[in-house]
Structure 1
Amino acid sequence: MTQELKPLLAKVEHVHHIIGKKWVNLIIHVLMEGTKRFSELHNIIPDLSKRMLNERLKELEECGLISRAVIPDRPVRTEYSLTAKGQELGTALLPVEAWAMKWL
């Protein structure tokens, strides 16, 4: 393997580590439609437990793919949206979704 390929392969492996986790693609897909509250995400993906949704949202926020905004109304709301980085990843995943619709 050439030395030039090592950094590229490391980045490819890293992105597959992120998007390969269960539920990540669905969360990104739903957020491509726009900002959602935690409860909305949970209602749209009902098989995803609240604990796992919370865990995945934290991971995606740490990766810089989503942003979390706390709205101090009563009751307090938390909203999630894709960052520019997350939006670009979501766009990159659209051909995979098209492939799935065609072949699965």
Structure 2
Amino acid sequence: MPLKRRRYDCAPGCPVEATLDLIDGKWKAVILFHLLDGTLRFNALARRLNGITQRMLVKQLRELEEAGLVARTVYAEVPPRVEYALTASGRSLEPVLAALKTWGEAWMQRHHVTSAPPQAAE
């Protein structure tokens, strides 16, 4: 599936707009952040993303794959094993994701926001 190319007006904020188009939404940046640790299988990734539905995770992974940020590898086994990893382009977002994490931690601390512990699977 070819990447849909979008035209930008290339005003001074154009590169920011282009970046946000690739990692927009609630889950994409978080998915990329978790893949910084290395290759993950679908269910391992889903466990790290508290509250995401299977359907949404599939959708977000497909979009990240289409954008060339995530690589999907399917192994011919029974049952099939599917792994996700960052591509070189995805890995190049590491400083951006680290900056988002640092800023978010500082904001949460300033505003006395605490993160809820992950809920146990039922």
* Displacement after TM superposition at 1:15 (Å): 1.3
The DSSP-based 3-state class of the residue aligned with 2:93 is helix
CA distance in 1, matches of 2:28, 2:20: 11
Return the letter of the residue paired with 1:31.
L
Task: Give 1:78's aligned residue.
Answer: 82
Runs of 4+ in 1 over 4 A off after TM superposition: none
Match 1:10 to one of 10, 14, 20: 14
The DSSP-based 3-state class of the residue aligned with 2:92 is helix
Q: Which runs of 5+ in 1 are unaligned?
A: none
TM-score by length of 2: 0.75
Match 2:23 to one of 19, 23, 26: 19
* Displacement after TM superposition at 1:51 (Å): 0.3
Task: Give 1:36's aligned residue.
Answer: 40
- Range that drifts further, 55-64 or 18-27: 18-27
Identity, % of aligned pairs? 36
- Count of aligned pairs between the two proteins: 100
Question: Could you give the per-residue CA deviations for residues 15-72 of structure 1, whole angstroms, max 9, x where no partner exists?
Answer: 1122221101110111000000111111111301000000000000000000000011
Query: Which protein is richer in helix relative to its size?
Result: 1
Return the letter of the residue paired with 2:50.
P
Task: Give 1:100's aligned residue.
Answer: 104
Match 2:92 to one of 72, 88, 99: 88
Task: Give 1:57's aligned residue.
Answer: 61
RMSD: 1.7
Q: Which runs of 5+ in 2 are unaligned?
A: 1-8, 109-122
